[in-house]
Amino acid sequence: MSGQFSSTEVEAIAVLARLELDPSEVELFARQLGDILAYADQVQQIDTAGVPPTAHVVTRHRADRPDEVVPSLDLHDALANAPDAALDAGFFKVPRVIG
């Protein structure tokens, strides 16, 4: 992988991306893209033998915990402040929002 970008290559990429670049930007981007490729090449040189592949660095999430049954609000307490509660049905009414 080459760490060098020519101004011709940067201009070709700019055309594909529909970017208008002035000559100073072409030079800047050629240097920056070259630096990125040089760094990628440097990372490729790292010996990763014996390192198992991973899809994600976090192995556990809070959602991975087992479900536990815990006490919940009593139905009467949950509907106590509802403006139009139907305690016998276990819900409260809300204004219609879709006509």
What tens digit of pLDDT does each residue of 23-81 get? 999 999 999 999 999 999 999 999 999 988 887 777 777 777 788 899 988 888 888 88
Q: Is the pLDDT of residue 1 over 50?
A: no
User: What is the rounded distance in angstroms from the CA atom of residue 29 to the CA atom of residue 23?
Assistant: 10
Of 70, 69, 86, which is closest to residue 78 (Cα–Cα)?
86
pLDDT attached to residue 38: 92
Interacting residues of 86 by C-beta distance below 8 A, sequence separation 6+: 92, 93
Choice between 90 and 4, residue whose per-residue pLDDT is larger: 4
Instruction: State the Cα–Cα distance between residues 30 and 47, nearest whole angstrom.
Output: 29
Q: In CATH, which of 2.60.40, 1.10.20, 2.40.10, 3.40.50 is domain 7-44?
A: 1.10.20
Among candidate residues 13, 12, 9, 7, the one with its CA nearest the CA of residue 26: 7
pTM, full prediction: 0.49
Tell me which of 16-20, 21-25, 87-91 is least confident.
87-91
pLDDT confidence of residue 11: 95
Res 2: pLDDT: 52
**Backbone φ/ψ region at 6: left (φ over 0), alpha (ψ -120 to 50), beta:** beta
Q: What is the CA radius of gyration of the chain?
A: 30
